[in-house]
A and B are shown apart, each in its own frame.
Chain A
Amino acid sequence: MKLRKIFRSAWEGLMLNKIRSFLTTLGVIIGVASVIVMLAVSAGAEAAIADQINALGANLIIVSPMRGVPGASRTLLLEDAYAIEEQVVGITGVSAEQSPAPQNIRAGGVDLEAIALIGTTADFPDVRDYAVAEGRYFTADEDDRKAKLVVLGAGIATDLFGAESALGQTITVGTTKLTVIGVMESKGIVSDVDYDGRIYLPLNLVLQKYMPVSTMRADAVRTIYLKAESQEQIPSIIAQTTALLAERHDVDAAKPDFTVQTQQDIIATQEATTAAFRDLLAWVAGVSLLVGGIGIMNIMLVSVTERTREIGLRQALGARQSNVLMQFLIEAIILSLVGGLVGVFIGVGGSYLFGSLGTMRTEIVPLSIPIAFGAAAVIGIFFGYYPATQAAKLDPIEALRRE
Chain B
Amino acid sequence: MNNNLIEITGMTKVYGEDEAAVYALAGVDVQVVRGEFVAIMGPSGSGKSTLMNIVGCLDHPTEGAYMLDGRDVSQMSKNELADVRNEKLGFIFQSFNLLPRLSALSNVMLPMLYTADDVSDEDAEARAVASLTSVGLENRLHHRPNQLSGGQQQRVAIARALVNKPPLILADEPTGNLDSKSSVEIMDILHNLHKGGATIVMVTHEADIAAHAQRVICVKDGKILSDGSDGKNHCAGLHQ
Contacts and interface: CB of A to CB of B under 8 A. Distances in A.
B185 to A, nearest CB: 23
Interface in A314-360: 314-323
Contact of A321 (B79, B97, B106): B79
Interface stretch (B82-90, B128-136, B189-197, B202-210): B82-90
Contact of B113 (A1, A309, A400): A1
Contacts of A316: 56, 58, 85, 91, 97
B148 interface: no
Given A310-B99, A313-B97, A397-B59, A9 B114 contact: no
Q: Which secondary structure dominates where chain A touches chain B?
A: helix
Given A5-B113, A310-B99, A317 B160 contact: yes
A15 B102 CA distance: 11
Contacts of B32: none
Contacts of B58: 315-316, 396-397, 400
Interface residues of B, number: 26
B115 interface: yes
A320 B83 CA distance: 8
Given A318-B87, A397-B59, A9 B97 contact: no
Nearest to B113: A5
A207 to B, nearest CB: 85
A315 B58 CA distance: 9
A229 to B, nearest CB: 74
Most chain A CB within 10 A, of B59, B79, B85, B118, is at B85
B167 to A, nearest CB: 14
Contacts of B79: 320-322
A309 B97 contact: yes
B166 to A, nearest CB: 10
Interface in B101-124: 101-102, 106, 110-111, 113-115, 118
Contact of B114 (A15, A16, A320, A400): A320
Interface in A299-321: 309-310, 313-321
B85 A317 contact: yes
B66 interface: no
Contacts of A309: 97
Interface string A383-403: 000000000000011001000
B90 to A, nearest CB: 9
A318 B111 contact: yes
Interface in A97-151: none
Contacts of B83: 318, 320
B102 A314 contact: no
Contacts of B78: 320-321
Given A1-B114, A2-B118, A396-B58, A317 B99 contact: no
25 contacts: A1-B118, A12-B101, A12-B102, A12-B106, A16-B101, A310-B99, A313-B97, A315-B58, A316-B85, A317-B85, A317-B86, A317-B91, A318-B85, A318-B111, A318-B114, A318-B164, A319-B82, A320-B79, A320-B82, A321-B78, A322-B79, A397-B58, A397-B59, A400-B58, A400-B93
Interface of A: 1-2, 5, 9, 12, 15-16, 309-310, 313-323, 396-397, 400
